[in-house]
Structure 1
Amino acid sequence: MARPPLPIGAWGNIRTEKLGPNRHCARARFRDYDGKTRDVEATGPTGPAAVRALQTKLRDRIAPNDDEITRETRVNTLADLWLDEILTEERVTPQTIDRYTTSLRTVIRPALGNLRLREASVGRIDKVLREVAKDRPSAAKGAKVVLGQMFALAVRRGALATNPVRETGRIRKQRRTVVALEPHQLEGVRAAIRKWQQPTPGKSGPRQTGDLADIVDLLFATGARIGEILGLRWEDLELAADPPTLTMCGTIVYVKGKGFFRQEWTKTDAGYRTVVLPRFAVGMLMARKIAAVVNPNDAIFASRRGTWLSPQNVRRQWRQARADTGLEWVTPHTARKTVASLIDKEANAKDAAGQLGHEDESITKKHYIVKPAIAPDSSRILEQLGASPEATGPERRAQGPTRAP
């Protein structure tokens, strides 16, 4: 009966041989990761030293190949090769590439970049991610996504047998309570914006416009994302229709080296949607249309130069406007939560998800609706656990608690 082959990545008996003064050789048969069995040897000044050198060599052994990624490749090099691959395939958007590059620059390269792939163990990667997650859980989650894709490439190229990132611990973000605005709070926000937009003698900086108040009104009229609102064009409106509608079909994004521009598609497929406008939004938009200055982008909200407005600048203006109101926590995302909560209260969560552009209403329920989970009405069943009419009063108190037999 033929001797069974060695398992992949295993070696047979180690043999030693003295080659000369202070020179010994250790040899063993090793079954490589391509299935072939080869002789591997190492030398040392003594027999035990040669054996140790061979064991190290066998442990780090990889199948001979012409690939540019091996177990000896450094993480920095793997990062560069992975970036080249996804850029060539054009499978992700430019802004996603920017986020990936930021994760590499701020987390991955400083902490792991000089390690060889064989040294990037589960424990080392997990420790780095946990340290980052203490202060920046979102950055840690982003870095884990990037690392997972990088090491998946190393596995596909045969440099590693498994992806160590898969075995790292789960990164937990602090759960936040969904908070929406009450009507009187929303009026406080509007009043703060009106006050902020009034010209103030001696106030430095550019002259304030009425854009911020109109942007806020449209956020609360639609539940749209700030990038979607700022990316709206007059051609996306149907104010004369019955009912008047607005179509979300793009968003403002930022790409390093290119700046802000309108992306011709929404964040998700479900984000491409047409919403019916409430009357207060129709009135505001008609007033803007009458006073609108033509701009090359046909933008509803354009800068003085006719370019797209920056979401970051709008958020900054909003923070300044709310500084004296005690409503600093109110953000453009708060508008989405307020809209979702109101629609869920008056209609249902499915309608709320459709308004916000969510593919799954479970996301809307979990992150956007101020509403505790409602248990089924089991009060009639639980009534059996109440005191029976004949066992009330002094007689029942005298009996004491009922004990199980």
Structure 2
Amino acid sequence: MPRPPLPVGTWGKIRTEKLGPNRHVARARFRDYDGKTRDVEAIGPTGPAATRVLQVKLRDRIAPNDDEITRETKVNTLADLWIDDLIAEERVSPQTIDRYTTSLRTVIRPAAGNLRVREATVGRLDKVLREVAKDRPSAAKGAKVVLGLMFALAVRRGALTTNPVRETGRLRKPRRTVRALEPEQLEKVRAAIQRWQQPTPGKSGPRHSGDLADIVDLLFATGARIGEILALRWEDVDLAAEQPTLTICGTIVYVKGKGFFRQGWTKTDAGYRNVVLPRFAVGMLMARKITAVDNPHDAIFASRRGTWLSPQNVRRQWRQARTDTGLEWVTPHTARKTVASLIDKEADAKDAAGQLGHDDEAITKKHYIVKPALAPDSSHILEKLGPGQPPSDPGQPQTA
């Protein structure tokens, strides 16, 4: 009966031979990753030393192939090849490519870029991710996604048999409390913006426009994302309908080398939606329409040069307006949480999810709705712990 072949990636008995003074050779048959069995040898001053060298050589054996990714490829090179593949496939959006590139530049390259693929073990990668997660949990989560995709490419190209990122530990998730604005806090927000928009005597430069106040009103009128609000065009609004509506069908994105531009689709499929506008938003848009200056994009909110406003600039303006107001925790995204919490309170979470453009109301409940856990009504039982209560009758059965 013929001897069964060695399993792929394993070797047979190691044999040693003395070649001369302080010169020994260790040999073994190794079944390579292409299925062929080959002789592998290593030299050492003694038999045991040659054996140890051979064992390391066998452990780190590279699958013979013509691919540009091997076990000896550096992680930096793997990253470059992976990004090139993504761009060539054209299935990932440019802004996602930018996000991946940022994760590579800020986390992965500094921490692991000079490692060989074979050296990027589960333990090393796990340590890198946990160190980052101590101060930047979101960055660590993004880096884990990128590393997983990179090493999946290494597996597909035959450099590795398993993806080490899959075996790294779960990263801690910071506890986040959903926080929404109360009515009096919202009025404080509007008052801060009004003060900021007033001209400052003796201050040079262009006067602040009324854009920030109108943008904030529309955020609270719709629950939309800041990028979705800034991507609105006049053609997306129907103010003449019996129930005036607004169609959210795009967002403002940034791509390196191209700048800010309007993307003609929303973050998710569920994000494409018609929103019925409350009266205060209808009044604001009508007043704005009367004084609107034409721009090439038909944008409701355009810069003085007629270009799209960037979300970053709007956030910067809000940071300036909220200075010394105690509203440092309030961001444009707080509007989405405020809208979701109010709709959930007055209607339900399903309506809140639809308003925000979520296809899963569990996301809305977890991240956008302020709702403390409701304990069961046990007040009639706890009343027995009040002062002056008569002692219980030992002969009576105790209630649970």
User: Is the shorter-chain TM-score for this pair beyond 0.5, marking a shared fold?
Assistant: yes
Secondary structure of residue in 2 paired with 1:109: helix
Secondary structure of residue in 1 paired with 2:19: strand
For the Cα contact (< 8 Å) 2:63–2:70, is it kept in 1? Answer: no
Residue 217 (structure 2) aligns with: 217
Percent sequence identity is 84
Q: Deviations over 1:326-380 (max 9, x none)?
A: 11211111100000011111111011001001110000000000112446x686x
- For the structure 1 residues 386 and 320, does the alpha-carbon distance in structure 2 shift closer, same or farther, using more than 3 Å as the test? closer
Task: Kindly state the Cα deviation for residue 27 of structure 1 after the two structures are TM-superposed.
Answer: 0.9
Secondary structure of residue in 2 paired with 1:34: coil
1:3-402 map, 5 Å: 3-374=3-374, 393-394=390-391, 396=393
Letter in 2 for 1:133: A
Task: Kindly state the Cα deviation for residue 4 of structure 1 after the two structures are TM-superposed.
Answer: 2.6
For the Cα contact (< 8 Å) 2:193–2:322, is it kept in 1? Answer: yes
In 2: Cα distance, 1:106 partner to 1:385 partner? 55
Runs of 4 or more above 6 Å deviation: 382-387, 398-402
Secondary structure of residue in 2 paired with 1:162: coil
- For the structure 1 residues 27 and 399, does the alpha-carbon distance in structure 2 shift closer, same or farther, using more than 3 Å as the test? same
Letter in 1 for 2:219: L
In 1: Cα distance, 2:397 partner to 2:352 partner? 50
Letter in 2 for 1:57: K
Task: Kindly state the Cα deviation for residue 93 of structure 1 after the two structures are TM-superposed.
Answer: 1.0
Task: Kindly state the Cα deviation for residue 175 of structure 1 after the two structures are TM-superposed.
Answer: 1.3
Secondary structure of residue in 2 paired with 1:281: helix
In 2: Cα distance, 1:173 partner to 1:302 partner? 38
For the Cα contact (< 8 Å) 2:103–2:146, is it kept in 1? Answer: yes
Task: Kindly state the Cα deviation for residue 41 of structure 1 after the two structures are TM-superposed.
Answer: 1.3
TM-score of the pair, normalised by structure 2: 0.94
Consecutive unaligned residues of structure 2, counting only runs of 5 or more, are none
In 1: Cα distance, 2:326 partner to 2:113 partner? 44
- For the structure 1 residues 52 and 206, does the alpha-carbon distance in structure 2 shift closer, same or farther, using more than 3 Å as the test? same
Secondary structure of residue in 2 paired with 1:179: coil
For the Cα contact (< 8 Å) 2:250–2:265, is it kept in 1? Answer: yes
Secondary structure of residue in 2 paired with 1:318: helix
Q: Deviations over 1:279-326 (max 9, x none)?
A: 110010011101000000100000110001111111111111111321
For the Cα contact (< 8 Å) 2:27–2:40, is it kept in 1? Answer: yes
Letter in 1 for 2:239: L
Task: Kindly state the Cα deviation for residue 66 of structure 1 after the two structures are TM-superposed.
Answer: 0.8
Consecutive unaligned residues of structure 1, counting only runs of 5 or more, are none
Letter in 2 for 1:337: K
- For the structure 1 residues 393 and 365, does the alpha-carbon distance in structure 2 shift closer, same or farther, using more than 3 Å as the test? same
In 1: Cα distance, 2:396 partner to 2:8 partner? 72
In 2: Cα distance, 1:335 partner to 1:373 partner? 22
Task: Kindly state the Cα deviation for residue 192 of structure 1 after the two structures are TM-superposed.
Answer: 1.0
Task: Kindly state the Cα deviation for residue 137 of structure 1 after the two structures are TM-superposed.
Answer: 0.9
- For the structure 1 residues 41 and 334, does the alpha-carbon distance in structure 2 shift closer, same or farther, using more than 3 Å as the test? same
Q: Deviations over 1:17-49 (max 9, x none)?
A: 223344322111112222222211122233222
TM-score of the pair, normalised by structure 1: 0.93
- RMSD, aligned α-carbons: 2.1
